[in-house]
Amino acid sequence: MAEEDFSTFNMELLALVAPVLQKQLRGEMLSGEEWLLLEEWKNRSAANAALAERLENPAAVQDMLKTWHDIEKNRELNKQRGISKIKALAFDTINTNPAMRPLPRRLLRYAAAIIFLLGTGAFWWTFHKNNNQELGGNKPPGTAIIGPGHNGAILTLADGSKVVLDSMGNGVVATQYGAKVSLYNGQLAYDPVNSSATGSLIYNTVTTPKGREFRLQLPDGSKVWLNAASTVRYPTTFTDKERRVELEGEAYFEVAKNASRPFIVKLNDATAVEVLGTSFNINAYKNETAIKTTLLEGAVRLQAYQQVQTLTPGQQASISLARQQMKVISNVDIDHVMAWKNGLFDFNDASLEEVMRQLERWYDIEVIYEKGIPAIRFGGEINKKNSLQDVLQILESSNVHYRLEEGRKLVVVP
């Protein structure tokens, strides 16, 4: 049978098959009715058959679990969901089935999460994509695949010279007035010197172009993860009074504790975030409607447009740039905020424009809208390792229509 397009995939049948596949993972016997249902699903497409075959192979299941483990390891909510479901899996039942070997506990705990994802279609799509590539695929002829972003950045030194960090190996990449700047396994780090030796602060800047992410360790030991199209400016050594950096774009901070020297992130002329030692995320892209600061641990104090607000863990401050007003949201969805750092797009309740701005930054494209585009809101998550074309095919199931033109232009059409 010809391979189905994801946008027309029979989700009702998939929902019925998911618990049957879960029984297979547990090594349980299937009823005759369940075998017929499974065969019907397998015969609907070559991708279904390939996926079913992989789920029957313990080694292949372990490979799939490892893939999802890499994505899910920092997502506590999904971990707990997976753990609660995995309790139903009977290890002794698996052991009695000579066709299956027990999976390691650290991998087996994610098996139920895989079945959950399979039921939503997200898991099916990921492996449909891989199987489609193995089977030859059905990509339009002459279409250039736009791959996902990767780790990389540009370091601008105090004298204005630039160092492209994308392809550099480990070692010292620059020396700034005695301070060594080193790259180790994709992370930039500083060996600071006393600021009095230079007479003044020396600033460096790390910029991630579109399609890049990067992480660095500041001279005080604080860690910064930069999202795509972001910039952080900082001194190569901090003064005795404060630690001040400047941010444009999005970054996640883990600030080294030092009660005597507050850590300050300047976002624009009117907005700053002050902390002593904490973990938080800031989204301050110029093309977004608000600056959002989300606190994970510790405490931060925000100052914006003559307003002051202190956050506690789980709260988010949203500063409207148009209204110059600040509001605080409690019990914010931390997984949603941190999805970018954990390798995911989280489009939960996102507008078409919000989705496209994320795609612009990650795939280094330009999005153009034709007239008459309906208002659309989305839900769900997509792996950022997918190509742009893969993501767009998934979005087509939500009535998103488009065409790709030369010059990395994505035209959204009615």
pLDDT number for residue 199: 58
Same domain? 331 vs 347: no
Give the residue from 107, 134, 161 where a domain finishes. Answer: 134
For residue range 254-280, what is the model confidence (pLDDT) as tens digits? 999 888 889 999 998 889 999 977 999
Does the pLDDT value for residue 48 go beyond 90? no
Does the pLDDT value for residue 4 go beyond 90? no
Same domain? 38 vs 115: yes
Triad 41, 399, 250: Cα angle to 5°:
105
In terms of average pLDDT, the best of 24-33, 157-166, 238-247, 361-370 is 361-370
Residue with tokens 């910064």: 224
For residue range 307-337, what is the model confidence (pLDDT) as tens digits? 999 999 999 999 998 888 999 999 999 999 9
Which of 216, 305, 310 lies closest to 254, judged by CA?
216
Residue 142 is assigned to a structural domain of this protein:
no
Q: How far apart are CA 89 and CA 160, in angstroms?
A: 59
Does the pLDDT value for residue 74 go beyond 90? no
Same domain? 330 vs 348: no
Same domain? 176 vs 317: yes
Residue 147 is assigned to a structural domain of this protein:
no
Residue 320 sits in a domain whose CATH number is: 2.60.120.1440
**pLDDT band, residue 68 (cuts 50/70/90):** low
How many Å is the Cα radius of gyration of the chain?
24
Same domain? 304 vs 351: no
**pLDDT band, residue 238 (cuts 50/70/90):** confident
Residue with tokens 């396994």: 185
Same domain? 305 vs 374: no
Same domain? 312 vs 376: no
What's the average model confidence in pLDDT over 158-180? Answer: 83
Q: How far apart are CA 385 and CA 310, in angstroms?
A: 36
Same domain? 186 vs 323: yes
pLDDT number for residue 338: 94
Does the pLDDT value for residue 177 go beyond 80? no
Bridge partner residues of 268 (DSSP): 271
Same domain? 129 vs 251: no
pTM of this structure = 0.69
Residue 178 is assigned to a structural domain of this protein:
yes
Does the pLDDT value for residue 139 go beyond 80? no
Give the residue from 297, 321, 336 where a domain finishes. Answer: 336
Taking the CA of residue 241 as centre, how many other CA atoms within 13 Å lie in the half-sphere pointing to its CB?
1
Residue 263 is assigned to a structural domain of this protein:
yes
CB atoms within 10 A of CB 311: 24
Same domain? 350 vs 391: yes
Least confident residue range of 2-16, 157-171, 178-192, 388-402: 2-16
Phi-psi sector, 148: left (phi>0), alpha (psi -120 to 50), beta: beta
Domain that holds residue 348: 343-413
Contacts of 159 (CB under 8 A, 6+ apart): none
Give the residue from 87, 103, 134 where a domain finishes. Answer: 134
Domain count, the chain: 3
Contacts of 54 (CB under 8 A, 6+ apart): 60, 61, 64, 127
Residue 53 is assigned to a structural domain of this protein:
yes
